[in-house]
Structure 1
Amino acid sequence: MALDVELSETREFLAQHEPFDALPAGVLDRLPAGLTVEYFRRGTRLIERGRDNHHLYVLRSGAADVHDTQGSLVERGGEGACFGSITLTQGNPSTFDVTAIEDCLALLLPAEDFHRLCTDHPAFAAFFDAQRASRMSGAVASLQLSTTGSAILKTHVRELVGREPIGVDGAATVREAAQVMSRKGVSALLVMEGERLAGILTDRDLRTRVLAAGVDPGIRVSEVMTADPVTGDVDALAFEVLLEMVGRHIHHLPIIDAHDRPVGLVTTTDLLRLEQSNPVYLAGDIAKQPDVDGVARVSSRLPQVVLSLVEQDASADDIGRVVTAVGDAVERRLLALAEADLGPAPVPYCWVALGSRARLEQALAADQDTAILIDDAVQPEHAGWFEALAGRVTADLVACGYPRCTGDVMATNPRWRQPLAQWRREFSTWLTEPVPDAILGASIFFDMRAVHGDASLHARLQRHVLATAPGARLFLAHLAKQATANEPPLGFFRGFVLEKAGSHRHTLDIKRGGIGAVVELARVHALSTGSPAVNTRSRIEAAREAGILGDDKAADLRDAFEFISYVRLRHQAAQVRRGDLPDNHVSPDDLSSFDKRHLREAFSIVRHAQSTLAHRFPMHYIS
């Protein structure tokens, strides 16, 4: 009986955390019996760099840090966090250390069970793809490995401690402590017992634990302080301290030396002054905004973030993930604000991103591409709620710097706000009865990613598409024709083909014939193999693994995509620096001879890849 209770509790725990919460009930029922439980004391390693790992670790309690080969902090996770997926998907030995920073209880899922779940449940696999490659951990890794580093990554905490610690004895009264805080002009005090740090008292503690609670200010400060507070190492990087504070939702952090003696106190405000354009702050600040104006104000810092990342030589791939993560944060906050006003959704739904943001490749100058998948239980009387949600969020996105899609590919279009069954019919029509014009407009919908709501709706649609696409040869031929028609801007004698008229005359449209061409090539390859990959680099890798692209050709195409994307981002960063609106039109006059030479080579690689694709599909008889 005790064992049954333990398995039931484990099942309920998993059901409350991603990505297990998206698994079918029957799968969740069986899963706990295949798990083992291990206890790790603080300071011990769950996974060790250089050693093989054959399990996914799910923290039942405690917290752990992930450090890369250079010892840099890459990720921090608490209850429900998963570690080890990289070795399970990319191979051993591990290139990361995962170390318990608190006593941890971990659930261990064997590799074979992990792979089976990934195969049977695309949403489960997609979670780990995103965990490995996206959100803030990818951006953080990029920043920490950059050659120059940002201020917050180069600064040690010692440099932030600008004054001697201000404290009181634990025997002092709350009134006396408040008087010290007022006299010294500080928002927190260290509470000492001799030379030992016993606790911390903040202005928030005074408000919530004393004034609001009606407590007599004559009591000892030790009765209302936060005892044994979390502390920071004076020799740590400011960035590590930031992660500690953000992860624990604390505003004040006592700093101690090697002998555990307090040397000062830092606040999140100190760190914010250090670098406002850090993407970690940006995404976190967006999530805290109480209204649309606040979201718009914070998201307006994104161009400066991109400029900073370009100046640090971060890769185009990593910058695209940062821009995407910020876009996701904006959209999720706007959706949450809208739901707070409109009330709960009448039935489950999933708000999805399309196009470059779905692929984790968004740059500046991007417009909106969104849709809504609605549970089939929806009734006619529910339509108004979803129409109101789409209209509000779309308008709010405009206010936040994301213009409307000129092709009306937005959730405000009733065609792209449908029950799941209608979405299945829509995709089935594209796949089995392809019409050239329809395919041209529909291709963006094959780059789709769940952003908010019930992700299982997207997972079910994705399963349907991936099961049908490999056999849809006529559809793939139309898609391939579209991909090969989008030629790189390179002339017969390897000269650049420039825009001949309009406001962008004498410039390269680096998105349409460069980035866009690779995106379309990779999309055809991925769909033809039934790969769930959406990111272009991941799709190229899937084509390599399927034997469609040789190792060298896949590497060349991947490098060409990175180079072209980086040239675009550097161009946009220069526009931000000048105060211009970012676009995708690059003047050859702004390119060095090195850039021109390698851009020609990149375009040649793309053109050759298009020729290879043309031979895979019978395009000669389609119009």
Structure 2
Amino acid sequence: MAEPELREVVDFLAQHAPFDVLPERELRDLARRMTVRYHRRGTHLMSVGRPHAELVVVRSGAVETRDAEGLLVSRGAEGTAVGSTTLVGGHPSRFDVVAIEDTLGLHLSAEDFHTLSAAHPQLADHFDATRAGILRAAAQAVATGSHGEPIMRTSARELVHRAPITTGVDATIARAAEVMTDEGVSSLLIVDDGDLVGILTDRDLRRRVVAAGVDPTQPVTVAMTAGPIVAPAEASALEMLLTMTEANVHHLPIVEGGRPLGVVTSTDLMRLERANAVHIVGEITKQPDVAGVVAAAHRVPILVRQLIEQDVSADDIVRIVTTVGDAVERRLIALAHDDLAARGLGPAPDMCWMVLGSRARHEQALGSDQDHAVILADDAPEGAERYIAALAEQVVAGLEAAGHPRCPGDVMATNPRWHQRLSGWRREFRQWLDEPTPDAVLGASIFFDSRPIAGNHDLHTTLVGEVAARVPQATNLLGHLTRQAVDNEPPLGFFRGLVLARSGEHKDTLDLKRGGVGAVVDLARVHALGAGLEVVNTRGRLRAAAGSGALSPETAEGLIDALDFISHVRLAHQSRQHGAGLAPDSWLAPGELSTFERRSLREAFQVVRDAQRALAQRHPSMHFS
């Protein structure tokens, strides 16, 4: 390469990431090692399934990258680099890269690429981020509908179809009812100097005015719901759906800067034809007996199949399944309380019922077994434990009938170990933190993923707050949890092949739970606990850990993308099993996978493995394998 041409290439590289971080001398050395080639429009620079041993930087022109199914991954012009994922992964190309204009490419050999990356970690980080971006594209691809737009991402702003109907706090109940009638609305927003302070619905008028015999000349503030649950203008339809189902409300004020923009109703969401979880939850809360709750719960697998067919993301689906599961368990608890009272075994003691595991993390899939526990107040009367045991038996039986098997490890409120007074739980945690035996590590890891759903939530808040403050100093327990997170390796072979079970009931199948979803959950838990964070949801833990500096943002987002993709494949598998009349599990036959899924699963498992190795290197004294 002549000096003038060399100077042009050096100047070009200095303007484009990641080469812009290199000093002048090394840019010149890099430019000398590159060769310039011309590619006519339509030429394949890379082809799916074929080896590729070069990095290609577009000097002029443009290229397009598509996956094995022909889906567009990216387009790039000057400065775009292609081929790094193949060079880093050491496998044949997973993409077709085609020149969509006459293109000049700067080609760098694999040997020079690896030498350059080893000498400059910032370049290696850049190319790792490129690989992570491709995995993110895979995760997003399975969460995109047929029209190319993410399902259930319609915003609140788009769903508000008329200006807010409001009245001031000085209006009477009668006047508010007149406004609702004249405007033909089922809810009225109450404002004070323009700010939302309450909402009045038809239901409020029936229950708080007519049924209660309240004088309609009283101020509207007597009948309204003060401080109503609201959603921001950019909230998605899915977020609004979950908010409404969790709170069991049918009107959701939409606000921006404290000022109301309008109201979204459950009917508005139903028009999207994907919000039938609202009806399921509503039906569950009204059921007069266990049989009715069970019948409603059996509609969940059908709902999941519909959501998968609509390409709703895995994270959104498991949140919906969790919301319905919460409604089922709460209703079973209420029915059990009523039955015990009718039999003269009440009143109920001061207690908190909490869910554990995937449901606590808002990550419940199909066929999940039961995990729950109870905290009793210390001042609960003598014999309260017998009441809890009787309550738990009814709830456990109801959940089993609803499709949730009893926990094989007996982590259920029917077990005396899992229904204790607050002081007993404190003693239990002191032992877990100070003397982390294998059984203690298992117990602690289960309880760290807990969430209250019924009773006195303050009991749970008190206990979790006390424990979270002590965990960062519990180095022995954190060491065991780290070992657990590192040793739970994904099913990926030495040459990036998928590893199948060699024997037993699940021979020749792939375990998506232990080294897939479970491995990400374990990594997120140990990073969050080590940083003293009380977040329970896995995605939330990863992002909070990144925010605290316990985890790099790139690793956190990579693990989230891996979790999303593995979870989607798992849910689709479970839905097919349910349709075939089989009990849902996490063991997948490779024949169920498309080429796209197989390739993306390998990428997701590699992300998990890299994160495990990084954790082991960061805490070598905590790894005992």
* TM-score normalised to structure 2 length: 0.59
| Cα deviation digits, residues 100-142 of structure 1 (max 9, x gap) | 953334578xxxxxxxxxxxxxxxxxx9999999999637379
Tell me by how many angstroms 1:513 deviates: 0.7
Tell me by how many angstroms 1:571 deviates: 1.1
Indicate conservation of the 8 Å contact 2:480/2:622, yes or no: no
Residue 527 of structure 2 corresponds to: 525
One of 134, 159, 165 as aligned partner of 1:72: 159
Q: Classify 1:135/1:377 alpha carbon distance in 2 versus 1 (closer, same or farther; 3 Å).
A: farther
Residue 455 of structure 1 corresponds to: 457
Residue 332 of structure 1 corresponds to: 330
| Cα deviation digits, residues 198-235 of structure 1 (max 9, x gap) | xxxxxxxxxxxxxxxxxxxxxxxxxxxxxxxxxxxxxx
- The AA in structure 2 aligned to 1:542 is A
Residue 369 of structure 1 corresponds to: 371
Indicate conservation of the 8 Å contact 1:139/1:318, yes or no: no
1:388 and 1:511 map into 2 onto residues whose CA distance is 33
Q: Classify 1:128/1:555 alpha carbon distance in 2 versus 1 (closer, same or farther; 3 Å).
A: farther
2:533 and 2:266 map into 1 onto residues whose CA distance is 38
Residue 199 of structure 1 corresponds to: none
- The AA in structure 1 aligned to 2:408 is T
2:445 and 2:604 map into 1 onto residues whose CA distance is 24
- The AA in structure 2 aligned to 1:68 is S
1:290 has 2:288 as partner: yes
**Larger Rg over CA atoms:** 2
Residue 489 of structure 2 corresponds to: 487
Residue 436 of structure 1 corresponds to: 438
Q: Classify 1:437/1:337 alpha carbon distance in 2 versus 1 (closer, same or farther; 3 Å).
A: closer
SS in 2 for 1:380: coil
2:303 and 2:390 map into 1 onto residues whose CA distance is 32
Indicate conservation of the 8 Å contact 1:135/1:322, yes or no: no
Q: Classify 1:622/1:579 alpha carbon distance in 2 versus 1 (closer, same or farther; 3 Å).
A: closer
Indicate conservation of the 8 Å contact 2:527/2:551, yes or no: no
| Cα deviation digits, residues 361-386 of structure 1 (max 9, x gap) | 00001000000011010233222211
**CA-atom RMSD, angstroms?**
3.6
Structure 2 gaps of 5+ residues are 1-152, 167-186, 198-227, 245-262
SS in 1 for 2:403: coil
1:572 and 1:298 map into 2 onto residues whose CA distance is 19
Tell me by how many angstroms 1:277 deviates: 8.2
| Cα deviation digits, residues 235-278 of structure 1 (max 9, x gap) | xxxx966448x9xxxxxxxxxxxxxxxxxxxxxxxx89x97981
| Cα deviation digits, residues 13-46 of structure 1 (max 9, x gap) | xxxxxxxxxxxxxxxxxxxxxxxxxxxxxxxxxx
SS in 2 for 1:575: helix
| Cα deviation digits, residues 46-69 of structure 1 (max 9, x gap) | xxxxxxxxxxxxxxxxxxxx9836
Indicate conservation of the 8 Å contact 2:488/2:515, yes or no: yes
Tell me by how many angstroms 1:619 deviates: 3.6
Residue 418 of structure 2 corresponds to: 416
* TM-score normalised to structure 1 length: 0.59
- The AA in structure 1 aligned to 2:612 is Q
| Cα deviation digits, residues 58-82 of structure 1 (max 9, x gap) | xxxxxxxx983661369xx999xxx
- The AA in structure 1 aligned to 2:414 is T
2:545 and 2:230 map into 1 onto residues whose CA distance is 17
Indicate conservation of the 8 Å contact 2:546/2:553, yes or no: yes
2:599 and 2:362 map into 1 onto residues whose CA distance is 28
| Cα deviation digits, residues 429-474 of structure 1 (max 9, x gap) | 1112211343134311110000111000000011011100111111
2:231 and 2:456 map into 1 onto residues whose CA distance is 16
Q: Classify 1:133/1:482 alpha carbon distance in 2 versus 1 (closer, same or farther; 3 Å).
A: farther
Indicate conservation of the 8 Å contact 1:510/1:584, yes or no: yes
1:104 has 2:106 as partner: no
| Cα deviation digits, residues 401-446 of structure 1 (max 9, x gap) | 1110000000000000000111111112111221134313431111
Residue 224 of structure 1 corresponds to: none
2:567 and 2:241 map into 1 onto residues whose CA distance is 20
SS in 2 for 1:434: coil
Tell me by how many angstroms 1:542 deviates: 0.9
Indicate conservation of the 8 Å contact 2:231/2:240, yes or no: no
Residue 314 of structure 1 corresponds to: 312
Structure 1 gaps of 5+ residues are 1-65, 80-99, 109-126, 144-238, 247-270
1:280 has 2:381 as partner: no
| Cα deviation digits, residues 333-363 of structure 1 (max 9, x gap) | 0011011111254431110000000000000
Tell me by how many angstroms 1:303 deviates: 0.2
Q: Classify 1:488/1:136 alpha carbon distance in 2 versus 1 (closer, same or farther; 3 Å).
A: same
Q: Classify 1:142/1:353 alpha carbon distance in 2 versus 1 (closer, same or farther; 3 Å).
A: closer
Q: Classify 1:384/1:491 alpha carbon distance in 2 versus 1 (closer, same or farther; 3 Å).
A: same
One of 283, 297, 300 as aligned partner of 1:299: 297
Q: Classify 1:470/1:334 alpha carbon distance in 2 versus 1 (closer, same or farther; 3 Å).
A: same
